[in-house]
């Protein structure tokens, strides 16, 4: 089918996944411009017919720039483009002064695209089973929940951990796989009934293939824009939250209570409600 429009999002994994709300709403005929490392993921989004990377010749069709960065503006100069509202200042004020959160990411994406945000699944669904998936890794230390191994011991059914580079030690202790590449990661989700994850790309990836998710929020909150899934968001009502837009290397308060205070029993109870 000919490409009728192009969606642009360069990174990160979670952001690329969330564009599925737009690509699915657009349907067939959608092209996607992204970085090479996310090309395989973008190609799997429902509605995407062809993936482009920077340097490729793009067809003369309308473009929806969901990155809206200096780089995307430069690459798309002279083209017919609509751009997402970034709300960077609003998000910084939210962290500094605990002001009202900005709009959800999928809502901003859909508004820019002129469509309604399609609900997940945004990727082909995986085969369902009885395995509990755990995603213990996170790029930022303050997003790492400390009780993953205790949860694996407490859960009465089969458990499988998923991770990426750098997560090998904890994934091995729990029992699971660290995969490089989206195809292998998605294959590893087959046979699951739900996933527990922090505010990370794997959380969004699991939701995008139709799995119920339990999200553990610490330095960020579920109202800060990225949480848009069925399932349960667990967090504590602390005055210091959010302390960051994306997470950080250390807790500004020195106690990491935002995640230390989410007990294993609370996660198990949330999972029981997803059965």
pLDDT of residue 1: 85
Assign 275 a pLDDT band (cuts: 50, 70, 90).
confident
Amino acid 211: pLDDT: 97
The structural domain count of the chain equals: 2
Question: Which of 113, 142, 170 is the endpoint of a domain?
Answer: 113
Residues 135 and 203 in one domain: yes
- Per residue in 218-236, pLDDT (tens digit) is 999 999 989 988 899 999 9
Q: What residues make up the domain containing 54?
A: 5-113
Average pLDDT, the chain: 96
Tell me, yes or no, whether 118 lies in a domain: no
User: What pLDDT does 179 receive?
Assistant: 81
Among residues 80, 113, 146, which one ends one of the domains? Answer: 113
| Res. 180 pLDDT band, cuts 50 70 90 | confident
Asked which of 59-63, 75-79, 178-182, 189-193 is least confident by mean pLDDT, the reply is 178-182
More confidently predicted of 180 and 10: 10
pLDDT given for residue 230 in this prediction = 81
- Domain CATH code at residue 37: 3.40.50.2000
| Mean of pLDDT values over 152-159 | 97
Task: Report DSSP letters for the chain, one per residue.
Answer: ----EEEE----HHHHHHTHHHHHHH-SSEEEE--GGGHHHHHHSTTEEEEE-TTSPPPSS-EEESS-SHHHHHHTTTS-EEE----HHHHHHHHHH-------HHHHHHHHHTSPPPPSP-SPPPPEEEEEEEE---SSGGG--TTHHHHHHH-SS-EEEEE-TT-HHHHHHH-EEE-SSHHHHHHHTTTEEEEEEESSHHHHHHHHTT--EEEE-SSS-TTSS----SEEEE----TT----SS--SS-TTSS-HHHHTS-HHHHHHHHHTT-
pTM, two decimal places: 0.95
For residues 107 and 154, membership in a common domain is answered with no
The answer to whether residue 62 sits within a structural domain is: yes
């Amino acid at each position: 089918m000919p490409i009728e429009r192009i969606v642009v999002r360069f990174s990160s994994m979670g952001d690329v996944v969330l564009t599925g709300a737009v690509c699915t709403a657009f349907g067939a005929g959608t092209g996607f411009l992204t970085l090479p490392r996310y090309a395989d993921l973008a190609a799997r989004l429902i509605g995407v017919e062809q993936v482009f990377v920077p340097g490729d010749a793009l067809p003369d069709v309308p473009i929806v720039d969901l990155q809206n960065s200096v780089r995307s503006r430069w690459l798309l100069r002279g083209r017919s483009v609509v751009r997402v509202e970034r709300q960077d200042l609003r998000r910084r004020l939210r962290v500094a002064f605990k002001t009202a959160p900005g709009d959800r990411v999928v809502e901003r994406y859909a508004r820019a695209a002129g469509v309604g945000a399609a609900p997940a699944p945004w990727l082909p669904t995986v085969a369902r089973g009885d395995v509990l998936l755990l995603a213990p890794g996170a790029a930022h230390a303050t997003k790492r929940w400390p009780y993953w191994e205790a949860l694996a011991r407490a859960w009465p059914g089969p458990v499988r951990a998923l991770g990426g580079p750098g997560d090998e030690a904890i994934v091995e202790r729990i029992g699971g796989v660290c995969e490089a590449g989206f195809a292998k990661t998605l294959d590893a989700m087959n046979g699951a009934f739900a996933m527990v994850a922090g505010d990370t790309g794997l959380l969004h990836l699991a939701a995008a293939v139709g799995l119920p998710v339990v999200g553990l929020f610490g330095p960020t909150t579920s109202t800060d824009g990225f949480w848009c899934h069925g399932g349960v968001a667990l967090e504590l009502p602390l005055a210091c939250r959010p302390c960051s837009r994306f997470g950080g290397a250390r807790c500004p308060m020195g106690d990491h209570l935002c995640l230390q205070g989410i007990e294993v029993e609370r996660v198990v109870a949330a999972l029981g409600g997803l059965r």
